Structure 1
Amino acid sequence: MSSAAPSTPGVHETDEPAALAALRALVRVPTVSRRPPDRIEDGVLARLHAVLAEHFPLLHAAAEVIGLDDGALLLHWRGRSAARPVVLMAHLDVVPPGEHWTRDPFGAELLGGPQDGTVYGRGVLDDKGSVAAICSAVEELLAAGHEPAQDVWLSFGSNEEVSGTAAAAAVVELRRRGVEPWMVLDEGGAVAGGTFPGVDVPVAVIGVAEKGTTSLRLVASGGGGHASTPSRGGATARLAKAVLALERHPLPARLGDVTVETFRRLAPHARQPVGALMARAGSARPAVARALAALGGEPAALVRTTMVTTTLSGSPALNVVASEATAGVNARIAPGESVADVVAHVRSVVGKGIDVEVVESGEPSPLSPWEDEAFALLERGVAEVFPDAVTTPYVVLAATDGRFLAEICPRVYRFAPFRMSKAQRATIHGPDEHLHVPDLLDGVRFYRRLLEELPA
């Protein structure tokens, strides 16, 4: 990591849009969640809360601010009605910066002008950009004297990056208050470029579900002993066979209803012959699923539960035969399948002599409707702020805090309203994470328009 370079000469923070100044201040507070201890360093979140209060005084004066365990926040902005409350979500924590940054990951460096530049820093995309955009939209509306048609809740989690329970605590508090949200909007999708082969237009992918996340541990036991007198079929050899067997025998590929709808919407905007294939996806599901699975990577993840071996351990020394060898397997479970399905599949593939332990389990979230007033509200916002983009539902491949809100709301959507190129998306959890200032300001416009158009 190199030392931080100064911002562009002649640019002063007082010249910056309020959302940009707030985002830069948030990035400079290193709210890093680590495993273990599965929480942020003491005192850091309090500093972040102070930054939020400083940059958004009208919001903090108008809303009830509710502190939750682990430094999470709920803010309640009362509307003209409480019949159909809306929850806007984001998370305050970030992953560790990692290596190979060319700029200070917590320096919030601005390259270019305050209206057209680019801000670098851990969390500008995931997920402090959303925090800044949401709060800026509310601050602007309050300054304009706007009263929302419905109650608005802002839920900012503090341990999303370590699969923590802050969002679950928000659900407990909302239930305690009798709040049954009409719609929830969390991070997940984006206005993405370069997402689908043959599709050149930006695609606003709005998550209507997310895969379940489950971690397994494979254990092979053996006699151990000195490496000079090894026996055949020891623990490491049997574990290696099990790992390879899992890679060779994935779960079946299936084309779900959400992906069919995605292809239906994208078909008119795709180059041929891709457009024709997309248009026929609903009537040729097995063939399309096999074709996507063969491509690997993101296309394959669209059509099946994925499993990958992520950790390995064996002997503590080079001259000792392992008495136990273990492998960690991370599974992302597609809607329509379950943790039990995955465990049964793994056990059948690895066979006898390998113990399969469930370390963490999470089922896929239920599907939220896309032929619905709430989804249409999001579509209208995209059409206004991102008129060149095609809006489509999709299944989020990763996990978000929104999955917890599915317990109390049938309409949980996952969409961060920022343009993101394929290269930009690669910086999420990687080096040189960055967000262009015009895209941040478009995100503010999207949230503001959403709040202005809440149905009475």
Structure 2
Amino acid sequence: MHSTIDPRTGSAAPAPSALRTGRDAAPKLARLLTFRTVSSRIPEEVETDQFDAFIAALPELFPRVAAALELERVNGHGLLYRWAGGSAETGDARAPAVLMAHYDVVPVEDPAAWEHPPFAGTITDTSICGRGALDDKGALAAVLEAAEQLLAEGFTPARDIYFSFGNNEETAGDTAAAAAALLAGRGIRPWLVLDEGGAVASGAFPFVQAPLAVVGVAEKGILDVELATEDAGGHASTPNRMGATARLARAILRLERRPFPAALPEVTVEMVERLSAAAPLLPRLVLGNVRRLRRPLTRVFGLLGGEPNAMTRTTVAITQLRGSKGSNVLATRASANANIRVAVGESVASTLTRLRTVIRDPKVSLHVVEGNEPSPVSATTNAQFALLEETISGTFPDAVPVPYIMLGGTDARRFTTICDAVYRFAPFRMSAADRASIHADNEKLGIETFGEGILFYRALMGAL
């Protein structure tokens, strides 16, 4: 999968090693990490000049891409590249492919907690360090570097390939939706869309030693609901029973004690079936019979907590609390934000209905701050998924490709209105520690891992 045709000899040229590829391209990613492209819902907090500088650096770092691909700005700082394929010349009406990434990042809470400054773009003997290395500038740089290398070899894709790079994914912004609408307005329905999401994850599932190449075929809905109560308030020295804060606390505890019902959706069943082949004998016998053991395995997933539990149900996390502004003042209004990840098969409406049922207190109001439904589920039996499996196996021969439902959200959901084959996979090896560093301290991407990602995109573009 990694070899390409040498235009000078007409024969297959061996691909360089992942380590060498990563080392050669590491300074480019490091440079991109120096730009403080932190997104915020408050416009005044966005350093627009940093986004401008990031965009201005791309032609310098990837000159062949800048010269050969059309670039269109979307929604201000979104980028939509078009790599014209050979199908137009031959009359082969192949639908295009879209490769996605985003270059905005989340804030850094405490720069002093980082081993290397978060926006220095430090390269060590093994890693490229900085905010955004994994989420998601690493994927953006890997896409562009893969295209840069293919262009240097005289390669032309068989179909048009679009690169859609967003600038406000971390705030669930509207750039990806604008890009999808732009393509829709031109009558373009992509054959394949691939965004960030899953990865080549080690230690992701109990009993399985082999790394799992988890490909998101859908993603949960994301819903923020404000729970609020009101009361007369007064002095804290004379509190009444069930004041605003106490009533709110009771509602929260009821939600904590009665989680949403658990179930193993079909995607998760298929995931377990596929990964069972990599498990030891006894777990393999259990996991391989997941359809017959669906009910007890659902309970086991729930008991494991964390990611396994979240794969089985709609989850509710109370992320913000507000009450009185004074330590000796009773709150006249208390509120909490519930961040909810809506399981595939559920809806925003059904979620709100259950919240009201569990809280069972009409004095607790529910207000939807924002939210979206779970995405449609893309197939695992089509040519698009087969191509992803083949490319994964060629790049990561030790990994087991499996479908899964993403627990977080991506820009990819914006493209499900114009494409039936939308997948979420970042071609990087990630340990549990790597995954934990996303949105946290000491985010970094291994140099060899970065090289593998570049080789993955080379192979994928070559096969499209």
Q: TM class by shorter-chain length?
A: over 0.9
What does residue range 51-450 of structure 1 map to in structure 2 within 5 Å?
A: 51-81=57-87, 82-99=93-110, 100-112=113-125, 117-351=126-360, 352-450=362-460
Aligned CA distance change for structure 1 residues 214 and 449 (closer, same or farther; 3 Å): same
Indicate if the aligned counterparts of 2:214 and 2:402 stay in contact, CA closer than 8 A.
yes
Paired letter, 2:396: F
1:45 Cα deviation after fit? 1.2
Counterpart of 1:6 in structure 2 is: none
Counterpart of 2:54 in structure 1 is: 48
1:273 Cα deviation after fit? 3.1
Indicate if the aligned counterparts of 1:417 and 1:443 stay in contact, CA closer than 8 A.
yes
Question: What is the TM-score normalised by the length of structure 1?
Answer: 0.94
Q: Which secondary structure does the structure 1 equivalent of 2:238 belong to? A: coil
Paired letter, 1:26: L
1:296 Cα deviation after fit? 1.1
CA RMSD after TM alignment: 1.5
Between the two proteins, what is the percent identity of the paired residues?
47
Counterpart of 2:39 in structure 1 is: 33
CA distance in structure 2 between the aligned counterparts of 1:182 and 1:166, rounded to whole angstroms:
21
Indicate if the aligned counterparts of 2:315 and 2:340 stay in contact, CA closer than 8 A.
yes
Aligned CA distance change for structure 1 residues 156 and 111 (closer, same or farther; 3 Å): same
Indicate if the aligned counterparts of 1:198 and 1:272 stay in contact, CA closer than 8 A.
no
Indicate if the aligned counterparts of 1:38 and 1:164 stay in contact, CA closer than 8 A.
no
CA distance in structure 2 between the aligned counterparts of 1:185 and 1:39, rounded to whole angstroms:
30
1:40 Cα deviation after fit? 3.1
1:102 Cα deviation after fit? 1.6
Aligned length: 437
Instruction: Tell me the alpha carbon deviations over residues 53-85 of structure 1, each in whole angstroms, 9 at most, x when there is no partner.
Output: 111111111111001113010000100225220
Aligned CA distance change for structure 1 residues 39 and 400 (closer, same or farther; 3 Å): farther
Indicate if the aligned counterparts of 1:39 and 1:159 stay in contact, CA closer than 8 A.
no
Instruction: Tell me the alpha carbon deviations over residues 265-316 of structure 1, each in whole angstroms, 9 at most, x when there is no partner.
Output: 1111112432222112112222111111112111100100101111111111
CA distance in structure 2 between the aligned counterparts of 1:268 and 1:153, rounded to whole angstroms:
36
Counterpart of 1:9 in structure 2 is: none
Counterpart of 1:10 in structure 2 is: none
Paired letter, 1:52: L
CA distance in structure 1 between the aligned counterparts of 2:428 and 2:325, rounded to whole angstroms:
47
Indicate if the aligned counterparts of 1:38 and 1:162 stay in contact, CA closer than 8 A.
no
CA distance in structure 1 between the aligned counterparts of 2:355 and 2:120, rounded to whole angstroms:
45
CA distance in structure 2 between the aligned counterparts of 1:70 and 1:138, rounded to whole angstroms:
24
Paired letter, 2:56: A
CA distance in structure 1 between the aligned counterparts of 2:290 and 2:22, rounded to whole angstroms:
47
CA distance in structure 1 between the aligned counterparts of 2:76 and 2:330, rounded to whole angstroms:
43
Structure 2: segments with no counterpart, 5+ residues: 1-20, 88-92
Counterpart of 1:8 in structure 2 is: none
Question: What is the TM-score normalised by the length of structure 2?
Answer: 0.92
Structure 1: segments with no counterpart, 5+ residues: 1-14
1:38 Cα deviation after fit? 8.3
Instruction: Tell me the alpha carbon deviations over residues 410-430 of structure 1, each in whole angstroms, 9 at most, x when there is no partner.
Output: 000000001111111111111
Q: Which secondary structure does the structure 2 equivalent of 1:255 belong to? A: coil
CA distance in structure 1 between the aligned counterparts of 2:49 and 2:173, rounded to whole angstroms:
18
Indicate if the aligned counterparts of 1:97 and 1:105 stay in contact, CA closer than 8 A.
yes
1:17 Cα deviation after fit? 4.1
CA distance in structure 1 between the aligned counterparts of 2:347 and 2:373, rounded to whole angstroms:
6
CA distance in structure 2 between the aligned counterparts of 1:340 and 1:240, rounded to whole angstroms:
24
